Amino acid sequence: MLCENLMETDNPEFRLWMTSMPTPKFPVSVLQNSVKMTMEPPAGLRSNLLSTYANVEDSDLNSCKQPAAYKKLLFALAFFHAIVQDRRKFGAIGWNIPYAFTLEDLNCSIKQLKLFLNDFDEIPFKVLRFIISDINYGGRITDYIDGILASCIISRYMVPEVINDDFYFSDTKTYRSIPAGSAADYLDMIKALPLNPSPEAFGLHENAEITTNQKLTRVMLETILSLQPRTSGGGGKTRDQLIAEISQNIEEQTPPPFNIEAAQKKYPTDYNESMNTVLTQELIRYNALLYLMKDNLVNV
């Protein structure tokens, strides 16, 4: 957006360098005194769709011989692009290897989609699925299982049923094939989507979000720790003192290990009551966690 607003009346000494890869030939002094900008895909399913349709105009939507089918398949393609990008936040559950899918992959697929719709009266869904998942996006995929996953994902959206208005992209019917309309209609429908999509939108179990939340928490804590002062000054506490206080506070709040023998007497193993066995197993696991916490907190 900043680059698009540049004008001829700007400072003549202004310089803009654009690169898609690092290079050792670029002067370090110039880099240190420059303002760095990076282009990254927006986080979130809704934000990704909004970013795609922000540059779509009505003239683009109606420039195809089959405008209704093009609008439907374009949204399905944009949804596929958002899914494969946002699955990376789930770690190894989303992809075995985090791939850097870009907007160029989507733009290339959109151009090919329009070509097929202009050249053929009958939509070749099988060919579209192969070109999009195996060639355009599959060109970045190096893991065999990830390649199968990409084919499975595209087969959910690029199907003849997507032409219908009552076709849903998720089991909860939160995401659906939007009726063919103008670019403003699509933006309004996308803005009404949930800000934080549930894992089922990606075809994952709800527990998959645990991995994502753990990653976000770790990144947040690492950022906070990186901003902590490295030396003491003005009577303030040092980083080690703060860590020691936090560790002591957690240690004081940590409950003692459970008495497994007493629990087994109160809830004995019984073939008619399987939960008693589960209770004992969970107490053993929880005690192992408590012992580990106590040992680590003391060392800290």
Q: What is the pLDDT of residues 206-251, one digit of tens each?
A: 788 887 788 788 888 888 887 766 655 555 677 788 888 888 888 8
Rounded to whole angstroms, the Cα distance separating 226 from 146 reads 35
pLDDT at 127: 92
To the nearest whole percent, how much of the chain has pLDDT over 70?
91
pTM of the model: 0.63
Tens-digit pLDDT profile for residues 6-49:
676 767 777 777 776 677 777 777 777 777 766 666 677 888 88
* Residue 193 CB burial class (10 angstroms; 0-12, 13-18, ≥19): middle
The CATH superfamily assigned to 45-208 is: Region D6 of dynein motor (1.10.8.720)
Tens-digit pLDDT profile for residues 163-211:
888 888 887 778 888 888 888 888 888 888 888 888 888 888 878 888 7
pLDDT at 1: 54
